[in-house]
Amino acid sequence: MSADLKSRLIEFSLGEGFSKCRICTPSDVPQIADRLAEYVAKGRHGQMGWMEQRMNWRGDPTALWPEAKSVIMLAETYTPDHDPMQVVGMPDRGAISVYAQNRDYHDIVKKRLKRVGRWLIEQSPDTQIKVFVDTAPVMEKPLGAAAGLGWQGKHTNLVARDLGSWFFLGAIFTTVEFPTDEAGRNNCGECTACLDACPTGAFPAPYQLDARRCISYLTIEYDGPVDLELRPLIGNHIYGCDDCLSACPWNKFAAEAKEIRYAARTELLAPKLADLAILDDAQFREMFSGSPVKRIKRGRFVRNVLYAIGNSGDQGLLDTAKGLVEDADPVVADAACWALSRLTS
Ligand code: B12
Ligand code: SF4
Ligand code: SF4
């Protein structure tokens, strides 16, 4: 019965817009508790203090919900139709990572997961489900790899031969006991393209990331003034970073994004730093309404824009930096002074 239900589930989830659906059990990732503990013990999570909480659940999905028998892992593609590295070579523009150039995936994926979950309950009414995307104490990458969606590449994200690197993950834990899939086979081989592409040297070893050096962490998660040593390495990244993902040769086989709401808004492809730096609170909220960028608020965003201005070498941006040296937000004012000193030195 579950084998038939599984093939109908896959069909339904693909029909709903997911690109791939694979299944594992909650006990298929025994290695993650130790690896998570090591990551946290080394302080690699930086200010993401929530990672230290509920470590027993995060490191062991069987403890999170003991009644769950299967974990349905789903891939949601957001493959860009442009080269994300193009803007990285334009110093007077800001680079916003591909996933944030339009609508927030959390809302879209969660709704889709719930629709699949509801369908499953309709098929087998005693079923219970819990859906997760991103924010819960669930390590989605190792679960996705165990289920066979792909493998954890040396950049630590999941890669697949048929999807490349551009896909989000969603999980449905369920009490249904489904037949499971084979874990994803690692196809990185001798390749080190992602490790070599990282501007900040954030990989202490292949398959391991020190978030404290990662531009994605520094621009999205990190609160306060960024270390002086790291600021020049951030380049013109103002929200997230895709350099390691973009370098992956498996992207040649990337599946097209199925969801139009991830297609880049034209004005977010290569926005002018000069226009972004002068956004006030209300303008910032309006410009990024519905986008994940809104989450970091005006202060952190303008801080990032000012680091990019400092890295631009563009004297035409001097006045923009000058205009912010007395900003009410001390982190913005500090970033403006830094940008000014870089541009004039
Ligand atoms: C915290 C977090 C971050 C942090 C830390 C990332 C990290 N690698 O730890 C920061 C802010 C830096 C970040 C950045 C990004 N993130 Co993020 N992030 C998360 C989150 C919430 C938790 C990840 C986590 O648990 N990290 C903790 C550490 C311990 O986990 P880990 O990297 O998996 O560590 C493993 C390896 O070290 C591995 N390992 C160690 N030794 C060895 C040896 C071998 C041989 C192997 C195979 C493995 C291995 O074992 C550890 C445990 O699995 C997940 C969502 C979720 N709930 O899972 C999204 C998630 C991982 N992020 C995602 C994305 C898209 C990104 C960005 C691309 C966004 C962007 N453009 O800026 C970047 C990519 C940066 C990168 N190279 O990782 C997607 C990835 C989708 C995918 N295809 O894999 C996720 C799954 C969100 C989602 N629901 O789609 N992220
Ligand atoms: S997202 Fe950027 S900074 Fe972070 S590991 Fe990848 S290339 Fe390095
Ligand atoms: S760039 Fe190379 S090493 Fe990195 S994930 Fe892709 S195949 Fe693996």
Please determine, for residue 1, whether its predicted confidence score (pLDDT) is greater than 80. Answer: no
Which ligand number lies closest to the CA of residue 190?
3
Q: Which of 34, 83, 107, 134 is catalytic?
A: 134
**pLDDT score, position 49:** 96
Please indicate whether residue 237, judged by its CB atom, sits closer than 6 Å to ligand 1: no
200 Cα: distance to centroid of ligand 2 (angstroms): 7
Q: What is the pLDDT of residues 253-276, one digit of tens each?
A: 998 898 999 999 999 999 999 999
d(CA 298, CA 304): 10
pTM of the shown model: 0.97
Site to substitute for ligand 3 among 190, 192, 242, most atoms within 8 A of C-beta: 192
CATH 3.40.109 in the chain is located at 2-80+101-174
- List alpha helices for 2-43, DSSP H: 2-16, 32-41
> Who's near 37: CB < 8 A, 6+ residues apart?
55, 59
Please determine, for residue 24, whether its predicted confidence score (pLDDT) is greater than 60. Answer: yes
Q: Which DSSP string do the residues of 159-207 spell out, in sequence order?
A: EBTTTBT-EEEEEEEESS-PPP-PPPPP--TT--HHHHH-TT---SBTT
Mean pLDDT, residues 63-75 taken together: 97
> For domain 2-80+101-174, which CATH number applies: 3.40.109, 1.20.120, 3.40.50, 1.10.3470?
3.40.109
d(CA 268, CA 287): 10
Please indicate whether residue 62, judged by its CB atom, sits closer than 6 Å to ligand 1: no
> Who's near 305: CB < 8 A, 6+ residues apart?
94, 238, 273, 276, 277
Q: Is 134 a catalytic residue?
A: yes
- What whole-number percentage of the chain has pLDDT above 70? 100
Mean pLDDT, residues 129-152 taken together: 96
Please indicate whether residue 187, judged by its CB atom, sits closer than 6 Å to ligand 1: no
